[in-house]
């Protein structure tokens, strides 16, 4: 999944990018393994020939938002529409070493970016509705143009009132139309407040309150001191926990970024464990066994027979997959089984 890091200039976007990439950043686009202690434990037990963790791809190549009249460049819009999730880095720190064009106001900046995304979507909707007004097909119930016109007329007012598309109730057909237009406010959003070192653990009341409000609306939000986190990422992994603990932190920025991305996208992780390859897979929460099979390979989904399922809790108690099977902890599930976070799956299929 592609994570586009956005925000105003000199907010610390690149520092967060390097920190989230665990010091392994290559250029401005880097694939980062998803940290998961469960996957590490499975790998240690199975000792497969090949290890494939789930990954997210961080993009630090989007143009910065500006404080001028035209906040988004066309290049920004084009690139942002290719992303699966947007990570808005908001400046909440003072520093004479990194001058800011205006006064530091994280609440204003976070709201401004949201509003500009809405306006970009509204511009597309207004232009499309103008064209649909001249379309004869848009007057024929059941036609694609008719459905599109009705949808755009319905979501225009909520957008004008500040409600992003991702918070609207849409059926499957409407969601498909929205995906075709790559609306920015339809994309999952994660907000990172880049604070000074003193607020890395306990944020200011204003920032803490905004983070709670965002979380309540379904937008994951967290705070980091990107400068410190960038330094942490350069340390030997064995030295990082002690340094983080000295700062009062339990996990590095990379963990918090990816956790927030997973939360924002509504993702869980399931595993396939084999001697040739053990792999972690990202899946939408609420997806069934056939969707999981399709994530592995479309042919496996087409030939789906049953899913052999062992929960991670049962796997841990048993100590191995074979032991879990012997203890009767493997369940045979059908197509509609809703995959749970941490499930170990083996798909029986017509090969």
Q: Could you give the count of Cα atoms lying within 13 Å of 89 in the half-sphere of its Cβ?
A: 31
* Contact criterion met (CB below 8 Å) for 106 and 193: yes
* Contact criterion met (CB below 8 Å) for 290 and 335: yes
* Contact criterion met (CB below 8 Å) for 195 and 223: yes
CA dist 210 and 108 (Å) reads: 11
Q: Which residue has the tokens 């064995």?
A: 238
Provide the sign of the torsion angle of the four alpha carbons 20, 23, 24, 30, taken in this order.
Answer: positive
Predicted TM-score of the model (pTM): 0.90
* Contact criterion met (CB below 8 Å) for 252 and 232: yes
Question: Domains of the chain, with CATH numbers?
Answer: 2-264 (3.40.50.300), 286-349 (3.10.20.30)
Give, for all 351 residues of the chain, the pLDDT tens digit: 899 999 999 999 999 999 998 878 889 999 999 999 999 999 999 999 999 999 999 999 999 999 877 889 999 999 999 999 999 999 999 888 887 878 999 999 999 999 999 999 999 999 999 999 988 888 888 888 899 999 999 999 999 999 999 999 999 899 999 999 999 999 999 999 999 888 877 778 889 999 999 999 899 999 999 888 888 888 888 888 888 888 888 888 888 899 999 999 999 999 999 999 999 999 999 999 999 999 999 999 999 999 999 999 999 999 999 999 999 999 999 999 999 999 999 999 987
SS3 71: coil
Q: What pLDDT does 322 receive?
A: 94
Helix (H) and strand (E) counts for the chain? 14, 12
Question: Phi and psi at residue 205, in whole multiples of 5°?
Answer: -55, -40
CA dist 174 and 151 (Å) reads: 7
CA dist 136 and 69 (Å) reads: 38
SS3 47: coil
CA dist 289 and 76 (Å) reads: 37
CA dist 13 and 6 (Å) reads: 7
Q: Which residue has the tokens 């939000």?
A: 221
Going from the C-alpha of 11 to that of each of 88, 109, 209, 225, 229, the distances in angstroms are 10, 10, 20, 11, 14
Length of the chain: 351
């Amino acid at each position: 999944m592609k994570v586009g890091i956005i925000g105003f200039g000199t907010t610390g976007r690149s520092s967060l990018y390097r920190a989230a990439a665990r010091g392994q950043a290559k250029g401005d686009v880097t694939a980062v393994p998803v940290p998961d202690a469960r996957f590490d434990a499975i790998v240690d037990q199975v000792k497969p020939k090949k290890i494939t963790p789930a990954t997210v791809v961080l993009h630090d190549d989007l143009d910065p938002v500006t404080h001028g009249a035209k906040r988004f460049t066309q290049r920004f819009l084009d690139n942002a529409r290719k992303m699966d999730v947007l990570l808005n880095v908001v400046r909440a720190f003072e520093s004479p070493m990194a001058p800011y064009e205006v006064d530091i106001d994280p609440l204003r900046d976070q709201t401004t970016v949201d509003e500009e995304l809405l306006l970009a979507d509204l511009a597309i909707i207004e232009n499309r509705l103008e064209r649909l007004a001249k379309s004869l097909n848009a007057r024929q119930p059941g036609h694609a143009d008719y459905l599109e016109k009705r949808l755009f007329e319905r979501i225009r007012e909520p957008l004008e009132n500040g409600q992003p598309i991702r918070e609207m109730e849409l059926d499957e057909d409407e969601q498909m139309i929205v995906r075709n237009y790559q609306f920015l406010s339809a994309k999952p959003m994660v907000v990172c407040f880049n604070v000074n070192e003193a607020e890395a653990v306990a944020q200011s009341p204003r920032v803490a309150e905004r983070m709670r409000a965002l979380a309540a609306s379904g937008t994951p939000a967290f705070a980091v001191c990107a400068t410190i986190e960038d330094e942490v990422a350069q340390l030997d992994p064995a030295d990082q926990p002690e340094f983080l603990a000295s700062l009062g932190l339990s996990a590095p920025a990379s963990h918090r970024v990816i956790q927030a991305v997973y939360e924002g996208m509504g993702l869980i992780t399931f595993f396939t464990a084999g001697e040739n390859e053990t792999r972690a897979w990202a899946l939408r929460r609420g997806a069934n066994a056939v969707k999981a099979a399709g994530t592995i390979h479309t042919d496996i989904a087409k030939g789906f027979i049953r899913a052999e399922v062992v929960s991670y809790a049962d796997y841990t108690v048993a100590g191995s997959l074979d032991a879990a099977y012997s203890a009767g902890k493997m369940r045979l599930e059908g197509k509609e089984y809703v995959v749970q976070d941490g499930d170990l799956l083996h798909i029986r299929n017509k090969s």
